[in-house]
Amino acid sequence: MYQQHDTMSDDNPIFDQLKKELLEHFEKIHGMEPFIIAVAPARVNLIGEHIDYCDGFVLPAGINRHVVIAAAPNGTSEANLHSTMLPDQPATVMLDEPQTPGQPKWADYIRGVFDGFCDKGFWPLPGFDAVIHANIPLGAGLSSSAAIEVAAATMVEGLLGIEINPKNKALLCQRAERKFAGVPCGIMDQFASVFAKNDHFVLIDCRSEEAQPIPFTDKSISMVIADTNVHHELSDGAYANRRKQTEIALSIIGKESWREVTMDDLDAVKEEMNEVVYRRARHVITEIDRTQQAAIAVSQGKTGEVGEMMAASHRSLRDDFEVSCKELDAMVEIAWDIGIDGGVLGSRMTGGGFGGSTITLVRTEKVEEVMAEMRSRYQEQTGIKPQIFSTRAVDGARQEER
Ligand code: GLA
């Protein structure tokens, strides 16, 4: 079990342990040391939900949960992929053939990345053996899939001895998710995993596709992530359906981009759209506004002031966008109920929704108490055991020394 409370010191025992295990697995399977170690973090989003595909802003951070990949060239035209999470499902991918989704399914994220390199003219890739290891809770809305893609792209860069422009790398990984995992996602998750920075949030302008680090150095505030253990499948249609509804709304409003739309513009065409589409649009407009305000507050060192914006974001996702669920609502309401006197500065669902995790900002000296209370009250109310941990904001994808 990994340490539950992540302090903001320079030591990172959680990551060191993960890397040590990776090297042990690689040596056990291949009897040698790897040539490359590639690393990519999962992400949590502070605010700006379901607006990355609406030209909005998002404000994620990398979290201290990673995908790590160890690899060595094998002189063939095959990639032999071994996942420590699914050790009985190894994958062999032919690198001199066109990539298509296949079995085992987990390898599709990586096939999608190979396909992206092929699309950029890197074909065929040299053969290699790789072991993939991770400590990210799966299906928890923390973008484990983006972390696999970004770690795989970082590994391929290492094998080829090249570095592609970080923005293009993130877009290549987003393409993999869309084309090979079938989720019509926006750019947030892959950009977060690439551009994450120690003690920073990343303000991503999803229209210009620019990422800007926003310092989050206030050590008196910690991020707590609570995985409800209710897990979603974003490829099951609900995500695509929300996306479609925002497109319908924008076409009725008649503007090029959501960035130009105000509540007055929406209200002017209220009669022309059904009530559901109206609410979806209201979420997009208000969330874009909230995220900009939150980024200003964090950049002025006033992170403690984003609590009300986080609450408004959650209510909007619950009532207008309808991507929350009773377990997410329960977890958030417990945090709200603990409140400022108990050390909670703000709480909301994070990520795609329909299950997954919440993010809560907590006074650092109260973290253990708040986590214990959230854990016991959530379990009491739902009968489900959650996974709750605190995290610092960590660096984005990179190659590591052995
Ligand atoms: C998922 C998608 C992202 C984003 C979020 C919701 O994580 O992959 O692109 O749309 O949902 O904010």
Ligand 1 in contact with 320 (CB < 6 A)? no
pLDDT, position 305:
87
pLDDT, position 231:
87
What span, in angstroms and rounded, lies between the C-alpha atoms of 304 and 292? 15
Ligand 1 in contact with 348 (CB < 6 A)? no
Coil vs helix vs strand at 36: strand
For residues 82-93, average pLDDT: 97
Cα atoms in the 13 Å half-sphere on the side-chain side of 390:
23
pLDDT, position 7:
52
Instruction: Transcribe 316-384 into DSSP letters.
Output: HHHHTS----HHHHHHHHHHHHHTGGGTEEEEEEESS-SSSEEEEEEEGGGHHHHHHHHHHHHHHHHS-
What span, in angstroms and rounded, lies between the C-alpha atoms of 45 and 376? 24
What span, in angstroms and rounded, lies between the C-alpha atoms of 391 and 393? 7
pLDDT, position 3:
42
How far does the centroid of ligand 1 lie from the alpha carbon of residue 333, in Å? 22
pLDDT band at 1 (very low <50, low <70, confident <90, very high): very low
- Choose the catalytic residue: 189, 264, 265, 337: 189
pLDDT, position 360:
98
For residues 346-358, average pLDDT: 97
What span, in angstroms and rounded, lies between the C-alpha atoms of 82 and 75? 17
pLDDT band at 6 (very low <50, low <70, confident <90, very high): low
Dihedral angle at the C-alpha atoms of 182, 165, 137, 186, nearest 10 degrees? -40
Residue 236 has pLDDT above 90, yes or no: no
Instruction: Transcribe 211-231 into DSSP letters.
Output: EEEEE---TTEEEEEEE-S--
The angle, 0 to 180 degrees and rounded to 10, between the axes of the packed helices 307-319 and 326-338 is 160
140 Cβ contact list (under 8 Å, min separation 6): 227, 229, 231, 351, 356, 357, 387
Q: Is the Cβ–Cβ distance between 45 and 346 less than 8 Å? A: no
What span, in angstroms and rounded, lies between the C-alpha atoms of 203 and 295? 7
What do you get for the CA distance between the two ends of the chain, in Å? 23
Kindly give the number of the ligand 1 atom that is closest to the alpha carbon of 143: 7
* CATH numbers and ranges of domains, the chain: 13-217 (3.30.230.10), 221-391 (3.30.70.890)
The tens digit of pLDDT for each residue in 96-123 reads: 999 999 999 999 999 999 999 999 999 9
How far does the centroid of ligand 1 lie from the alpha carbon of residue 188, in Å? 6
Q: Choose between 144 and 303: higher pLDDT.
A: 144
Is 189 an active-site residue? yes
In the chain, the percentage of residues whose pLDDT exceeds 90 is 93
The tens digit of pLDDT for each residue in 281-336 reads: 999 999 999 999 999 999 998 988 899 999 999 999 999 999 999 999 999 999 99
- Name the residue with the closest Cα to ligand 1, atom 11: 352
pLDDT band at 87 (very low <50, low <70, confident <90, very high): very high
pLDDT, position 402:
83
